[in-house]
Structure formats: C-alpha cells, structure tokens
Structure 1
Amino acid sequence: MNLSFFDQFASPTMMGVPMIIIAMMTPLVLLPTPTPHWTNNRLSTLQGWFWNKFTKQLMLPINKNGHKASLLLMTLMVFITTMNLLGLLPYTFTPTTQLSMNLGLAVPLWLATVLIGLRNQPTAAFGHLLPEGTPAPLIPTLILIETISLFIRPLALGVRLTANLTAGHLLIQLIATAVLTLVTIMPAISIFSLVVLFLLTLLEIAVAMIQAYVFVLLLSLYLQENT
C-alpha cells in the first residue's frame, strides 16, 4: 500500500510525545545566547548586527507608538524562519505547514493590531472602512467589502504561509521519489532530476526565509495603519 504524499504533514509521535513540541523548542537551543562578557563571539556579534539593522528597517515606516512591538515582531521572525528551515532537514517535521498553527499565530496578532487602532484612534480605524469621497449609493456596499477584506487578513496570512511551504515540500517529495524510481531504469534522467532537486532545495531555503519576512512585514503594515 502506497503512502500518501501528505503524510509528511501529519505530526508524528515518538514514545507518545508529539514531535511538534520538540520541533518548536529546537530554535531555543540552536540560537546563540548573549554572554555577560564585554565581547561576544563572532556569531553573536554578526547576529546582533543583522537584527539591529533589520529591526530599524522594519520599524522605519511605523511611528514611535508602534516601536513597542519591535521585540515581538523580531521574535516572531526568528521563530518562523527557524521553523521553516528546520523542516527542510531529513526526518524532521515542519509545524508551519499546519494551518491551525499559522492561524493561531495570525489571528491573535491581527486582532491585537485592530484593538490597538480602536483604542488609540477609533475614528481613523473606522475611517478605513469607507474611502473618502464615496458616493452615497455605494456606501453600504463599500463598507461591507472593506469589512470582509479586514476579516480576511488573518486568513490570508495563515493560508499564504501554509500554501507556500506545503507546495515546496510536495515538490521536493515528488522529485525525490522520481530520483529513487528512475535510478535503476534511466540513470541519466535520474541524475538530471537530482540536480533539479538540489536547485529546488536552494529555492525552498530562500522561500522559507522570504515567507517569514512577508508574514512579519504584513503584520507591521497592519500595525502601521492602527498606530
């Protein structure tokens, strides 16, 4: 009986412990931690320099009231990036391919930006639902459309991350299966497929980092609208 290609997205268990828990705790072990010394090692120094530059670039369009969320956004960026990259290793599990987890990240953070806007600037928050200069007959329709688009935002965040990672993993699984199947029948095509698999893996590494950046960037834009 052939296994489904989608079995790789099911959370495996080992000795009764869900592997998703171990996968989510692994980044805490992999990331270097700062030391109390005046000078850190090269990896920690490079990491600190990169995140400082990245944080400044991410917070540039946001006013000072929104800068309080910089630590949260950068932590989320590191978490999603490491989850995506760890999922590319053999015999591992990618929690970010689960729509439930991505929605669990997207919905509360999106709701927090909406509540911040309603608390700090309620007039501007409700003003986003109706563009200025709208003709009177179109007002109910536009309010309905803008309300639907507002509530679709967290769904789009979660589905985008899930769909991109799922598609990449499925392609890698399909090409890897083709390489193993063709290695004895058509070695030349198998070698060509192996090269394609290597290039696709490099692409997936880039996609893993880009999707984490897009997720955090969209959240920062939602925060910008409400601060």
Structure 2
Amino acid sequence: MAMSFFDQFQSPVFMGMPLMILAFTFPWILFPTSSPRWLSNRLLALQNWFIGRFTQQLLLPLNQGGHKWAVLFASLMMFLISLNMLGLLPYTFTPTTQLSLNMGLAVPLWLATVIIGLRNQPTIALGHLLPEGTPTPLIPVLIIIETISLFIRPLALGVRLTANLTAGHLLIQLIATAAFVLMPLMPTVALLTAVLLFLLTLLEIAVAMIQAYVFVLLLSLYLQENV
C-alpha cells in the first residue's frame, strides 16, 4: 500500500497508546540543568546566555507589569524550538505540526492577555476596538472589524506555526523522494537534488527557530497592548 506524504504528521501510536506525551517530555531531557558550581560548563553557559539575551530583547518594550511573563515566555520559546528542531530528525514526530496543539497553546495565552487588559485597564483595552478620530458613521463598522481581528489573533498564531512547519516538512520529503528516484536514472541530477535538499534542510532549521520566536514575539506584543 502506498504511503501518503501526510502520514508523517500522524501522532505515533504504540500498542494502541498515543506517544504524544513522550514527544513533549523527551526534548526537555536534552537541556542541561543548572549547577550549584561557580563555573558552569560551556553548554550551560551558552544556554543561559541565549535565554538571557532572548528575554531581554523580548521584554524591552514591555513595562514593569509585563516582566512577570519572562519565565513563561522563555520556557515557551525553548519548548517550541526543541520540538521544531527535533522534528527534523529522521524517524521522529513534530507535535507542532498539529493545529490542535498550536491552538491549545495560542488560545489560552492570548485569552490571558485579553483578560489582564480588561481587568487592569478596561477603558484602554476597549478603546483598542475604536481608533481615535473615527468618523461617526464608521464607528459601528470599525468596532465589528476590530472585534473580528481581535478574535482572529489566536487562529493566526496557531495556523502560522502549523502551516510553516508542515510546508517545510512536505517539501523536504518531496525533494528527498525525488533524489532517491533519480539516483539510478540520472546521477548528476540526483546529486544536484541532494545539494538542494541540504540547503533546504538548513533553511528549515532556521524556519523552526524563527517560527518559535515569532510565536512568542506576537504574544508579547498582545501583552504589551494590555499592560
């Protein structure tokens, strides 16, 4: 039976039990834990430097109230990067290609930013639905449009992450299949295809990191409007 290209996005199952929880848990084992020593190893120092620089850049436009989200944003960033990167390895599964997972991350975090804005500064939060200086006849239309755009935000977060990773994985599999098929027929073309596959893999590594950063960055921008 011919395998579908979309079979790689199915959740792995072993003896009738889904292995999704293992796909979430195992990436955390790869990260070194903090050490009580004064001098840490190079890997731990690099990890701490990366988290520190990322958190500093992410929280720069936020006021003091938004700095409480620093641990959550840093953890979410490392979590998404680890899942996206490990999904590029052979015989692995990428949980972030599932729209249900991405929406499960996007909707509660987006809703938390909205609730914080309505609780702390309800006037300013509701004022985002109507730009200043709007003509009176356009007020109802603009309120409806801004409300729709507000509720589309979590959908855009989840779909963006899912679509980018799914498209990259499919393209890699298509080019890899073409390279194997062309190897006995046209070795020169197959070699050029393999080079293209290598370059595309490098691009997909960059995409995996960038999409995780964009996901967290957009959440910080939503939080910035409500704190």
Normalised-by-shorter TM-score class: over 0.9
Residue of structure 1 in register with 2:177 after alignment? 177
Q: Aligned equivalents of 1:98 and 1:47: distance in 2?
A: 27
Distance 2:8 2:27 in 1: 21
Map 1:114-125 onto structure 2 (within 5 A).
114-125=114-125
Between 32-41 and 202-211, the greater mean CA deviation after superposition: 32-41
Q: Is 2:160 the partner of 1:160?
A: yes
Give the distance between the partners of 1:46 and 1:78, measured in 2 at CA: 13
Write the distance in 2 (CA, Å) between the matches of 1:17 and 1:33: 30
How many aligned positions are there? Answer: 227
Post-superposition Cα deviations, 1:129-174, rounded to whole Å, max 9, x if no partner, equal 0001111100000000000000000000000000000000000010
2:104 aligned residue: 104
SS in 1 for 2:105: helix
What is the CA–CA distance in structure 1 between the aligned matches of 2:74 and 2:17, rounded to whole Å?
29
Q: How far is the alpha carbon of 1:14 from its aligned partner?
A: 2.2
Secondary structure of residue in 1 paired with 2:81: helix
Gaps of at least 5 residues in structure 1 are: none
Could you report, residue by residue, the CA deviation over 1:100-145 in whole angstroms, capped at 9, with x for unpaired residues?
Answer: 0000000000000000000000000000000011111000000000
Q: Distance in 1 between matches of 2:83 and 2:52?
A: 21
1:2 equivalent in structure 2: 2
Counterpart residue number, 2:143? 143
Query: What is the identity percentage for the equivalent residue pairs of Structure 1 and Structure 2?
Result: 71
The answer for the alignment partner of 2:49 in structure 1 is 49
1:69 aligns with 2:62: no
Mapped partners of 2:21, 2:182: distance in 1: 36
Q: Secondary structure at the match of 1:11?
A: coil
Q: Which amino acid aligns with 1:122?
A: P
RMSD: 0.8
Secondary structure of the residue aligned to 1:92 is: coil
Q: Find out whether 1:199 has 2:199 as its counterpart.
A: yes
Deviation at 1:28, TM superposition (A): 1.5
Q: Output the TM-score relative to the length of structure 2.
A: 0.98
CA distance in 1, matches of 2:68, 2:82: 23
Unaligned runs of at least 5 residues, structure 2: none
Alpha-carbon distance between aligned partners in 2 of 1:66 and 1:213, rounded to the nearest angstrom = 17
Distance 1:208 1:220 in 2: 19
Corresponding position: 1:83 with 2:58: no
Q: 1:189 aligns to what?
A: 189
What is the rounded CA distance, in whole Å, between the counterparts of 1:79 and 1:28 in structure 2? 8
Letter of the 1:53 partner, please give it: R
Instruction: Provide the C-alpha distance between the structure 1 equivalents of 2:36 and 2:16, rounded to a whole number of angstroms.
Output: 39
- Is 134-143 or 27-36 further displaced after alignment? 27-36
Residue 53 of structure 1 deviates from its aligned partner by 1.5
